[in-house]
Structure 1
Amino acid sequence: MDKLRVGVIGVGHMGNYHARIYHQLQKYVDFVGVCDIRKSRANEIAALYGTKPFYHFRDLLPHVDAVNIAVPTSEHYKVAKGCLEAGVHILLEKPMTRIYEDAVELIDIAEKQNLSFHVGHVERFNAAVLELTDVIKGQTPVFLEAKRQGPPGERERTSGVILDLMIHDIDIILGLVKSGVAGIAAVGKKVYSKFEDIANVQIYFENGSFATISASRVSQTKIRTLSITMPDYDIFLDYASEDISIHRKATTSDNVVDGKMKQVQDSYVERLTVNRDNPLRLEVEHFLNCIQDHEKPIYSAMDNLRSLKIALKALEITERNLRG
């Protein structure tokens, strides 16, 4: 069986990571090349991973079966559509597009062409998230609180924190709650860029669940956590360390202390063991397995559309509030 021919389009910050993964997987794939409109960057990354540089994505397409796309969000629709129409499977970095209807069109093209179209929500492959899905299976969370914050960094920003950071948490929470959305509230603030650098979004679900999500790229501390209140216990997840713990409901008992009857509350924390791995590598391997072995995607096209729709709605509300 011939190796799957793969490439990476856009080798900036995230695309470089994708290229590194394919370099590590060359026993299983033919890493044809990398593409970037910045010739010096394409040459640099191609030399680093021993592959060929391309300077326009259409020049790469005749040589590959599948590509990872990590270009700026504003270019997602154009590049993804060109790849799909050329019969190439794609793993497109989140968010799919800035316009919901464009995302729907891309999915339609992929389905008509019988192509794998994955969206790069890497937190889906976080070991703690994979464990969390099993922990709350069939149960309804009462309240969920996600925090994702960090320093500004030096990368050029092409979108705000809702589409850049918060969409990860929106995606995970929608996958856990599994209920229609009844309402959304959102606020944000520009600090360093022309986009929202801080945002807080509240999601109200039809089944009564409630979530609040905060994202910031102006904090000097790096936090990526998810807290979930269940009817009888709490869950705390740290995306960065891939740790997950369950805080069980306290029990109350009457004890004699120093000759006096006192009520004592007992509680305990259960720290779950998870199989840690590189989430991005797992995501890429899943993409390849879906192409080669017809593995079922862990998230459907409708799941991807739903996450995008809620994120875009939150962004719309935030921008309206910013305008006053």
Structure 2
Amino acid sequence: MGSPLKVGVIGVGYLGRFHAEKYASLPGAELVGVADVQPERGQSLAQTLNTKSFTDYRQLLPLVDAVSVAVPTTEHFPVVQDSLNQGCHVLVEKPMAATVDEARELVRLGRERGRFLMVGHLERFNAGMEEMRRQVTQPGFIESHRLAFYKERGIDVDVVLDLMIHDLDHVLSLVNSPVREIRAAGVSVLTDKIDLANARLEFQSGCIANLTASRMSLKSMRRFRLFQPNTYLAVDFEAQELTVAARQEGALGPIPGVALDIQRFPKEDVLLKEITAFVDAVAQGQEPPVNGEAGLAALELAMNINAAMKTAQG
């Protein structure tokens, strides 16, 4: 077995702290240090995890093979750019950049430098979605609802980039067809950005996806439903549950001729699965599960949805 991968975390606020804790728990990784512009926050976490703290992330980069970047979205581009130029592999939280042009440049730079760039679309690693992915053959209609309580965290971007982008990533990876038409609407409620949004996407394959995201809900909901010939699949991300209803001659149940299967998965540490996948990809020299191109595609679609909302509002 080779030496542990030397890793660091840049930005140890709410999400970055969890990244650091996961790396510290992995036998295949060595948490060399954390970097944060708030010295007290970085030093406190470094002391807890028995590692080093830096206020300038550029001092950390020469010491590591790979980094997680969990700074605010507007700062993703310079931090990821510096990391790739230093020769580090990068796992960056979603959205991968503040603009499509920035994201394209990061993808190009990663390829040029021969370094992996992975984007933190966490729910790719949800067990229910992993099983759904194995059963999808010909998506015809998709419906998603992602509703969350209002939180101060994440309001530097609109709800499409904050929440809906998870489901955009799922839809793009499952449908695997260019988007032909976008219709979208959204409203601002408690912030100066869109807090509730709905998007209807029509793909060249004929598949339709209807997605709703809100950070103004009194009830949390993360559900994703897919219809295809002879089969209905539904993931409840919070319950870690996949429901499959499939046409089956002679099947008995609530709907004659339809076999119903509800699969419940044990609660998992999805972030640990994501970070383990990143460490393994780097260690084995294999493309990570959610590469820069996938992150770019989700970001570009999110931006196009926002543009469609502005057009609809006049």
User: TM exceeds 0.5?
Assistant: yes
Cα pair distance change 1:169/1:78, threshold 3 Å: same
Matches within 5 A, 1:261-272: 265=256, 267-272=258-263
Alpha-carbon contact 2:24-2:30 (below 8 Å) kept: no
Please, which of 148, 162, 165 is the counterpart of residue 164 of structure 1?
Answer: 162
Cα pair distance change 1:131/1:250, threshold 3 Å: closer
**Letter in structure 1 aligned against 2:80:** A
Alpha-carbon contact 2:222-2:238 (below 8 Å) kept: yes
Tell me the distance in 2 between the aligned counterparts of 1:192 and 1:129: 31
Residue 109 of structure 1: how far off its partner (Å): 1.1
Q: Which residue of 1 aligns with 2:279?
A: 288
Tell me the distance in 2 between the aligned counterparts of 1:286 and 1:117: 12
Aligned residue-pair number:
310
Residue 203 of structure 1: how far off its partner (Å): 0.7
Tell me the distance in 1 between the aligned counterparts of 2:195 and 2:102: 25
Secondary structure at the aligned position of 1:153 is classed as coil
Question: CA offsets, 1:255-298, max 9 Å, x none?
Answer: xxxxxxxxx84544212354653221111111111111123333
Tell me the distance in 1 between the aligned counterparts of 2:62 and 2:3: 16
Residue 160 of structure 1: how far off its partner (Å): 1.0
Provide the aligned C-alpha RMSD in A.
Answer: 2.0
Alpha-carbon contact 1:77-1:97 (below 8 Å) kept: yes
Alpha-carbon contact 1:98-1:312 (below 8 Å) kept: no
User: Which consecutive unaligned segments of at least 5 residues does structure 2 have?
Assistant: none
Question: CA offsets, 1:11-58, max 9 Å, x none?
Answer: 111111111101211x32221111111112112222232221111111
Matches within 5 A, 1:150-299: 150-155=148-153, 157-249=155-247, 265=256, 267-272=258-263, 274=265, 277-299=268-290
Residue 227 of structure 1: how far off its partner (Å): 1.0
Alpha-carbon contact 1:148-1:166 (below 8 Å) kept: yes
Secondary structure at the aligned position of 1:81 is classed as helix
Please, which of 303, 306, 311 is the counterpart of residue 312 of structure 1?
Answer: 303
Q: Which residue of 1 aligns with 2:11?
A: 10
**Letter in structure 2 aligned against 1:173:** V
Question: CA offsets, 1:90-138, max 9 Å, x none?
Answer: 00111111211111111111111111111111111111111111111xx
Residue 156 of structure 1: how far off its partner (Å): 5.7
TM-score by length of 1: 0.90
Q: Which residue of 2 aligns with 1:48?
A: 48
Tell me the distance in 1 between the aligned counterparts of 2:182 and 2:250: 38
Cα pair distance change 1:48/1:157, threshold 3 Å: farther
Tell me the distance in 2 between the aligned counterparts of 1:231 and 1:196: 35
Matches within 5 A, 1:27-106: 27-106=27-106
Tell me the distance in 2 between the aligned counterparts of 1:4 and 1:314: 38
Cα pair distance change 1:173/1:16, threshold 3 Å: same
**Letter in structure 1 aligned against 2:114:** N
Question: CA offsets, 1:212-264, max 9 Å, x none?
Answer: 110001101000000111221211111112210112348799xxxxxxxxxx8
Tell me the distance in 2 between the aligned counterparts of 1:318 and 1:105: 26
Alpha-carbon contact 1:131-1:274 (below 8 Å) kept: no
Q: Which residue of 2 aligns with 1:115?
A: 115
Larger RCO (CA under 8 A, 6+ residues apart): 2
TM-score by length of 2: 0.93
**Letter in structure 1 aligned against 2:138:** T
Tell me the distance in 2 between the aligned counterparts of 1:117 and 1:252: 49
Alpha-carbon contact 1:34-1:52 (below 8 Å) kept: yes
**Letter in structure 2 aligned against 1:23:** A
Q: Which residue of 2 aligns with 1:256?
A: none
User: Which consecutive unaligned segments of at least 5 residues does structure 1 have?
Assistant: 254-263
Secondary structure at the aligned position of 2:3 is classed as coil
Secondary structure at the aligned position of 1:194 is classed as coil
Tell me the distance in 1 between the aligned counterparts of 2:307 and 2:59: 36
